[in-house]
Amino acid sequence: MLNFMPGSISKRSIVTFLLVLPGVLEAQAPVPTPKVTGPIAATARPGDPSHNYPYGATKADLARYGYREDEFFIEGLTNEYRTDGIKTAVIVSGPYAYKARVIVRRPISAAKFNGTVILEWSNSVVGFYQENDWYWSHEHLMRAGYAYIGVASQARGIESAYGLKAFNPQRYASLDTDAGGKFRGNALALAFDIYSQAAQAAKQSQTTRLLGDLKVRNVIATGHSLPHLYPYYNGIQPLARVIDGFVIHGATGQALRTDLKTPAFRLFSELEVVQNALDLPDRDYLRTWEVAGAAHADRDLIDALDAVLERDLPQFAGNEACDKPPMSRIPARMVQHAAYDSMKVWIEKGKQPPGAPKIQVSPAPSEGERRVIARDTNGNALGGIRLAQFAVPVATDTGENSGGQFCNIYGSHVPFDQMKLDRLYPSHAAYVAAVEKITESNLKAGFITKEDAEQTVREAQQSKIGKGQ
C-alpha cells in the first residue's frame, strides 16, 4: 500500500524489498490514490433490456433530496494479505493490477454535503451485489447530507452467473478484482487494498473528481451481513488508517483489537445475538447496540431490495414460505441512522455514543451453540434497544424464523388479534401516549434521530390502534 511518484523505482521491486524486511510491513504506509474513470455513461434508462445502465441503480427519489448517482471504475495495484485474528496483516504476494466498480450517490450542491462519506463494502455473498446499508438508510443519508460510495471489490459479484459481467458483458468487461482468476476461490485476497483505495479516492476527490467538488472530512466504513470489516479493522486499518470509523452491521463471531484509536460500532439484530456473538464489552473506541425484535433482513430491507431485483435480476425477487409469517416490522434502520450520526460526532468531536442495554439471553451450553433469548408473555425479547414499535407492541416481532433457505434472516411478525389489541389499548389516545413516552426516551438516549422520532409518533397518530377497528 505504497504511494509512488512518476519516475520512482518500480513498484514490484519496492514491494519485493519490503517482503524481506521483518517488521517493515507493520509500519503505516500511505494508501495509493487509484486511477478513476467516469462517470461511466449510460445509454439506457434503468430497466431497459439492454442493461446499459449501472447495475443496481437506486430507485430512491434522488431529485427530491438534490442528489445524483454516478458509476465509476477505479484501478491500480493491490496486494494479497494474510490476516490472523487481531494481528496486523502482512503482504504475502503482489502487487496485482485490478479494476473495480464503485457507485456514488452524493449531494449535487456542496452546500448540502455534511463532509462525511459512507463507504459500503457491497455484499456479494449470493453472487450479485447488494448495497444493503444504502437500501436501509438511504432516506436518512440524503436527508442528513452524507455522500455514499458502494464498493464492488470482490470477484464473486463480478464474475458469477449473476454478477456484473453477466448483467452487461460489454459494460463491465474490463473489471478484474482477482488477478484474472488467480484468486477466484479467495474472496478477500485482493479486496482489502481495493476498499482502502476507494476510501483514498474519496478523500482525494479534489483530484480524482469521484465526488465532484465535495470536500471530504472523514470516511465511515460500513457493511451489512459481512464479516470482512473485522479483519480489515484488525489487520489493515493499522497499516492504511484511511478509514475514520466503522459501523459493522449484522456480522458476528470475531474479536476487535483494543489498541486502535479508531471508533467502531457493532449493530446487531436478534439473529446475531442468538448466534453467540462475542460479548465484547464497550470501551473507549467500541460500542455494541442490540435492537430487540430486529431481524437480520426485515421488511424495510427486503422491500427495498426486491424493488431493485424485480428490475435487474427478477429471478431473485419475491420471498419464500417460512414456518412463521416472515419479516419483522421493527424498523431497526432507525437505530442505524442514529449510529451513523453518532459515529460522525465521535470522529469529529471525540464524543462517545451512549452505551445500550443488551438483549437478555441464556448462555450457550457449549461453544458454537445458539443462545436463547429471554422473552415476555407476548413472545417478544427482553432487554436491548426497544423502539416504540416494539416496546408498545401490536405484534410478536422476532429476529428468528425457519423453513426456507433465507427464513432465518427474515425474522417473524405475528400480529395480535383485535381482542388483544383492545385489551392492551383501550383508547387511541392511550396508545399514542405510550408511543410518545418511549420515543422521547429513545431520542434522549441517542438511539434514534429527531426525524425518526417524529415519524414514529406521526405513524402512531395515524394508526387505528385503540379505535376498536
Q: What rounded mean pLDDT belongs to the chain?
A: 90
Give the residue, 233 or 188, on which the prediction is more confident.
Answer: 233
pLDDT, tens digit, 9 for 90 and up, residues 175-184: 999 999 898 7
Neighbours of 430 (CB within 10 A): 14
Question: What pLDDT is recorded for position 368?
Answer: 61
> Rg (Cα) of the chain, in Å, rounded?
23
Contact 93, 139 (CB under 8 A): no
Q: How far is the C-alpha of 203 from the C-alpha of 391, rounded, in Å?
A: 41
- CA distance to 18, 211, 257, per residue, from 332 (Å): 45, 29, 27
pLDDT tens figures, 86-142:
999 999 998 999 999 999 999 999 999 999 999 999 988 888 899 999 999 999 999
The model's pLDDT over 43-83, given as tens digits with 9 standing for 90+, comes to 999 999 999 999 999 999 999 999 999 999 999 999 999 99
Pick from 239, 250, 247: nearest CA to 117: 247
pLDDT tens, residue by residue, 362-379? 876 666 677 899 999 999
What does the DSSP 8-state code read for residue 285? Answer: T
| Unique residue bearing C-alpha cell 416481532 | 397
Alpha carbon 316 to chain centroid, angstroms:
21
What pLDDT is attached to residue 339?
A: 98
If pLDDT is split at 50, 70 and 90, which confidence band does 321 have? confident
Is pLDDT of 207 > 60? Answer: yes
Q: Which residues pair with 469 in a beta bridge?
A: none
Considering only CA atoms, which of 282, 248, 298, 245 is closest in space to residue 268?
A: 248
Provide the percentage of residues in the chain whose pLDDT is more than 70: 91
Per-residue confidence at 23, pLDDT binned at 50, 70, 90?
A: very low
Average pLDDT estimate for 197-224:
95
What was the pLDDT predicted at 115? Answer: 97
Q: Considering Cα of 41, then 36, then 125, then 230, what sign does the dihedral take?
A: negative
Q: Which three cell numbers stand for residue 81?
A: 494479505
Please say whether the beta carbons of 267 and 335 come within 8 A.
Answer: yes
The predicted structure's pLDDT at residue 248: 94
- Sorting pLDDT into bands at 50, 70 and 90, what band is 246? very high
Is the preceding omega at residue 39 within 30 degrees of 0, hence cis?
yes
Write out the E strands in 269-363: 286-290, 361-362
Residue whose cell numbers read 422491500 = 303
Instruction: Enumerate residues 6+ apart whose C-beta is below 8 A from 53.
Output: 42, 43, 44, 45, 46
User: Are residues 103 and 157 in contact, defined by beta-carbon separation less than 8 angstroms?
Assistant: no
- Report pLDDT for 366: 65
Lowest-confidence segment of 150-159, 256-265, 319-328, 358-367 by average pLDDT? 358-367
pTM of the model: 0.91
Would you say 239 and 220 are in contact if contact means Cβ atoms under 8 Å apart?
A: no
Contact between 221 and 191 under an 8 Å Cβ cutoff? The reply is no
User: Is 42 strand, coil or helix?
Assistant: coil
What would the pLDDT profile of 379-422 be if each residue is shown by its tens digit?
999 999 999 999 999 999 999 999 988 899 999 999 999 999 99
